[in-house]
A and B are shown apart, each in its own frame.
Chain A
């Protein structure tokens, strides 16, 4: 059986992303290590409190040798436009989560709205990535 363990988001600034995903969104730090033998590469992951087996890597956009300068610029541009990836979060109560996260300074681009599949809302992380927060209707 194949399951999802870790997925990745590009971020402009890992410290800023860490603060956002933990203090504002409420996730936990899973791993945060800087590896000197890999040129101080920082492996930083966070995950939802109730799902210890799933995490998101908050990955700094690398330069050479992993990524050439042109590609780095392209990724930065895509991220700034909000097209570098989306995380779809679910909640049991979209309105309550919206209030809670707004209270912690998360700026929603879409307030909770009724959709055929449930109540949906959206916000961006500091890097511009699009995050959905949805209360899914039971099928």
Chain B
């Protein structure tokens, strides 16, 4: 049997970051998934994938945060927590470093999420109609 390449273990950590970014994951959790000590894991991960595990996890979270800013009407704080970060201040700083604007300014540069939602025409027609109608013919009908 041929030996398993180290990348096979490291990819487990990458998969974990990609799928469980919304949970309070850290580099230690990723190292555990790769069955390596944290220090050794960070070196190996960087050598294999060209960036640190911390960076990989953070950019995954920021990529998701950017999508949520564009496509939902959630608050910035809700988005921060939804992608697994627990400090709005740190989130804003990291986001700004990555996208060169604050989360709020980033969102403002795109059309409102509601305008981009694929709400079907049947729903728009039904919900867009006035809900409380009082027409003269209603009362005349009632009286006849």
Contacts and interface: CB of A to CB of B under 8 A. Distances in A.
Contacts, number: 64
A5 B118 CA distance: 10
Interface stretch (B1-9, B31-39, B50-58, B123-131): B123-131
Contact of A28 (B20, B64, B113, B123): B64
Interface in A30-46: 30-35, 37-39, 41, 43, 45
Interface residues of B, number: 26
B127 A49 contact: no
A66 B22 contact: no
6 contacts: A29-B72, A32-B73, A38-B123, A45-B118, A65-B126, A66-B122
Given A33-B114, A33-B117, 14 more contacts: A5-B118, A6-B118, A22-B22, A32-B71, A32-B74, A32-B113, A35-B119, A37-B128, A38-B119, A41-B123, A43-B114, A43-B118, A43-B119, A65-B131
Interface of B: 18-20, 22, 64, 67-68, 71-74, 82, 113-114, 116-119, 122-124, 126-129, 131
